[in-house]
Chains A and B, each alone.
Chain A
């Protein structure tokens, strides 16, 4: 199984998420993570969808099917090495009185994670990174009592020089093909 990151630029209209996910559902492709936000261009949204698949060919077909949706401006499929990507995770860790104190220095320096909130008997630690880094940190921090753990979907930008959004409806750009 190879991980693919699909970036979809769309007009920002109601119901589009549904239209896009139907295409994955119909092909029985599971969505590992999904992030949507507006881009630097007004009215243009960017979906970042991570999937795992054995066949690159199938992923290419999927990309073309997504491209077919009328409101979709552009779709790009990437392998991990073609993008810079990250996720963000929050760990809510129990720190009752008398328990083992957190080693904040290790957390900061070794894991590049930060305590972003101090509650009465817990702290919230934020860790950004790819899934491996996040799970490494998970491995470390689980010696404390983890009350909640949440991970965002992936965000990614391509490694090409130009921002991919530059490839939007310019006259040259017609098809992924």
Chain B
């Protein structure tokens, strides 16, 4: 344990050298503030309420050190913290009240859990004597969040605060990151600690020991497989960016000449114009990368978990290939796909070790095989989508133009639906860590608050949210948060007046029975103006370029609504439950 007493000057009063001063005992709430400062927390996303008021009271004195951002709904706090965490590569912090405050946060917690986003949620709880009595705003938040947190803990006395808080940050940020929740009773917030406040940053937990450095034997087995492979193929997931191993990945593939595909969350790990990058995998991923998984003899899966959106029918997936699986979370090994060479460890460490052992290879012929599928996809899908002159604007055109205007250097924060898939398909990512999206959970309403959080976490980057008209209406109240905090978030609504993705499925698999997917939409720009945000609608192809320029050049936040083709479909598509080789082009 590394003591960091220096961060909390108040502690000095309690040292024996100032012998005749009585130690100043502090409340649980103040201890929480001091602990957050000790952890280097500078931003909290939150919403007050009865059962967290003592903490808010203590926060009043810490405003110069901790920037608290008042969101409009606790789900927004959670997603904002996720966006912030993705940009900062450390835990986002949420502060909410008991009962409804906590339950409103649940969606974001589940989202963070499945996408491995570090988050520390501090939740108020009724006083200890009221626990279990169905008191006002009491909810069993421990029980509710147990299956969707990496760890949770109920603090019932003030003395526990420093140790539990440091554990929370350690668990959230180490190994496979994830959300942790601290449920803190009001009594613990109010009562005084009985001992002096000392904060030690947690460095290890006896029962929790993530393995960062992989075992050399495992790396050797993997290297042998890779060196003997004729048609090796690298599949990259979110884990590589979490480990900040983008450079190590590049060096590894450049040395070996192996083609690389990414999952949805793995996108932007490697620049889309890198000669070894072949595209993205999964249900709406590119044609070649999906089909070619069936041709590879060795699959090197790095920081990915073979989600069913990637594998299609897992029983038919990569049966022909030997699998190297690099993963920090050992419970992912063999969970869906059996690994012939598991490498348990941090992607950065594993790739370093592996790169040292692999031999340079010429896989040009194998790599070129991907290109013929690229051509088919380009001719049958991409080109028509980008060059159509009839009908309404297509989603693809908007993203393509945005990509060009921003040089592929913006951070895209997308919501969930067709626009999400189109954003992924058509944005040419040049910089790492440039796609923030709800992958595992597919949470509508994610983008607007997450874009806000991402902007707070990365003030120097251009953040553009891509949002569907349905999704926007789930968290649009966060426009208020954006305006109040003067964050220059740019948001594009791709408005097709439909819950487009559901409509697509109904068209393809339910005989066009469009059951409750058409929306009567409000005037989004008037709404934005009501919140004090500028905006504009664009529904003509000719004015799209100007509209995007206006948005990008605007000083401050901006909402651009683009009226797009109503019944457009996202292809390619691997229909749910089929094998990836059955990917459809139409």
Q: Chain A: residues with CB nearer than 8 A to chain B?
A: 10-11, 14-15, 18-19, 22, 26, 57, 60-61, 64-65, 67-68, 70-73, 169, 174-177
Q: 6 new A-B pairs (CB below 8 Å) besides A15-B142, A70-B207?
A: A18-B143, A61-B331, A61-B334, A64-B330, A71-B208, A176-B330
Report whether B334 and A26 are in contact in the complex, using a CB–CB cutoff of 8 Å. no
How far apart sit A60 and B334, CA to CA, in the bound complex (Å)? 9
Residues of A near B530 (CB, < 8 A) are none
A70 touching B205 in the complex, CB below 8 Å, given contacts A64-B331, A175-B330 = yes
How far apart sit A68 and B332, CA to CA, in the bound complex (Å)? 10
Residues of B near A57 (CB, < 8 A) are 334
How far apart sit A148 and B480, CA to CA, in the bound complex (Å)? 66
Decide yes or no whether B147 CB sits under 8 A from chain A: yes
Q: Chain B: residues with CB nearer than 8 A to chain A?
A: 142-143, 146-147, 150-152, 154, 171, 205-209, 211, 329-331, 333-335, 342, 344
Residues of A near B207 (CB, < 8 A) are 10-11, 70-73, 169
Chain A residue with Cβ nearest B146: A19
Residues of A near B147 (CB, < 8 A) are 22, 26
Chain A residue with Cβ nearest B218: A177
Report whether B344 and A177 are in contact in the complex, using a CB–CB cutoff of 8 Å. yes
Residues of A near B150 (CB, < 8 A) are 70
Residues of A near B171 (CB, < 8 A) are 70
Residues of B near A65 (CB, < 8 A) are 331
Report whether A177 and B333 are in contact in the complex, using a CB–CB cutoff of 8 Å. yes
The CB with the most chain B CB atoms within 10 A, among A14, A70, A169, is that of A70
Report whether B206 and A73 are in contact in the complex, using a CB–CB cutoff of 8 Å. yes
The CB with the most chain B CB atoms within 10 A, among A10, A61, A176, A177, is that of A177
How far apart sit A11 and B153, CA to CA, in the bound complex (Å)? 13
How far apart sit A19 and B330, CA to CA, in the bound complex (Å)? 19
How far apart sit A65 and B205, CA to CA, in the bound complex (Å)? 18
Give chain B's interface secondary structure class: mixed
A18 touching B146 in the complex, CB below 8 Å, given contacts A71-B207, A175-B330 = yes
Report the minimal beta-carbon distance from A39 to chain B, rounded to whole angstroms.
13
Chain A residue with Cβ nearest B151: A70
Report whether A174 and B146 are in contact in the complex, using a CB–CB cutoff of 8 Å. no
Chain A residue with Cβ nearest B330: A177
How far apart sit A171 and B577, CA to CA, in the bound complex (Å)? 44
How far apart sit A72 and B162, CA to CA, in the bound complex (Å)? 22
Report whether B143 and A67 are in contact in the complex, using a CB–CB cutoff of 8 Å. no
Report whether B211 and A14 are in contact in the complex, using a CB–CB cutoff of 8 Å. no
A68 touching B143 in the complex, CB below 8 Å, given contacts A10-B207, A14-B154 = no
Report the minimal beta-carbon distance from A72 to chain B, rounded to whole angstroms.
6
How far apart sit A22 and B211, CA to CA, in the bound complex (Å)? 25
How far apart sit A14 and B185, CA to CA, in the bound complex (Å)? 15
Report the minimal beta-carbon distance from B492 to chain A, rounded to whole angstroms.
38
Chain B residue with Cβ nearest A168: B206
Report the minimal beta-carbon distance from B381 to chain A, rounded to whole angstroms.
37
A67 touching B330 in the complex, CB below 8 Å, given contacts A15-B142, A15-B146, A19-B146 = yes
Report the minimal beta-carbon distance from A54 to chain B, rounded to whole angstroms.
16
How far apart sit A1 and B209, CA to CA, in the bound complex (Å)? 34
How far apart sit A15 and B146, CA to CA, in the bound complex (Å)? 9
Chain B residue with Cβ nearest A23: B147
How far apart sit A177 and B332, CA to CA, in the bound complex (Å)? 11
Chain A residue with Cβ nearest B336: A61
Chain B residue with Cβ nearest A63: B331
How far apart sit A73 and B208, CA to CA, in the bound complex (Å)? 7
Chain B residue with Cβ nearest A19: B146
A-B pairs, top 8 by smallest CB distance, nearest first, are A64-B331, A70-B151, A73-B207, A70-B208, A68-B331, A177-B330, A22-B147, A169-B206
Residues of B near A61 (CB, < 8 A) are 331, 334-335
Chain B residue with Cβ nearest A10: B207
The CB with the most chain B CB atoms within 10 A, among A11, A57, A68, is that of A68
How far apart sit A71 and B205, CA to CA, in the bound complex (Å)? 9
Report the minimal beta-carbon distance from B217 to chain A, rounded to whole angstroms.
12
How far apart sit A174 and B344, CA to CA, in the bound complex (Å)? 11
8 contacts between A and B (CB under 8 A): A15-B142, A15-B152, A18-B143, A65-B331, A70-B171, A70-B205, A71-B208, A176-B330
Chain A residue with Cβ nearest B152: A15
Residues of B near A26 (CB, < 8 A) are 147
Chain B residue with Cβ nearest A16: B146
Report whether A177 and B342 are in contact in the complex, using a CB–CB cutoff of 8 Å. yes
How far apart sit A175 and B342, CA to CA, in the bound complex (Å)? 13
Report whether A64 and B342 are in contact in the complex, using a CB–CB cutoff of 8 Å. no
Chain B residue with Cβ nearest A68: B331
How far apart sit A132 and B40, CA to CA, in the bound complex (Å)? 60
Chain A residue with Cβ nearest B176: A68
Residues of B near A175 (CB, < 8 A) are 211, 330, 344
How far apart sit A76 and B500, CA to CA, in the bound complex (Å)? 48
Residues of B near A64 (CB, < 8 A) are 330-331, 333-335
How far apart sit A18 and B146, CA to CA, in the bound complex (Å)? 8
How far apart sit A10 and B146, CA to CA, in the bound complex (Å)? 16
Report whether A68 and B329 are in contact in the complex, using a CB–CB cutoff of 8 Å. yes
Report the minimal beta-carbon distance from A85 to chain B, rounded to whole angstroms.
25
How far apart sit A50 and B335, CA to CA, in the bound complex (Å)? 21
Chain B residue with Cβ nearest A173: B209
How far apart sit A129 and B335, CA to CA, in the bound complex (Å)? 36
A67 touching B209 in the complex, CB below 8 Å, given contacts A18-B146, A177-B342 = no
Residues of A near B142 (CB, < 8 A) are 15
Report the minimal beta-carbon distance from B430 to chain A, rounded to whole angstroms.
36
Residues of B near A22 (CB, < 8 A) are 146-147
Report the minimal beta-carbon distance from B246 to chain A, rounded to whole angstroms.
26
How far apart sit A176 and B335, CA to CA, in the bound complex (Å)? 14
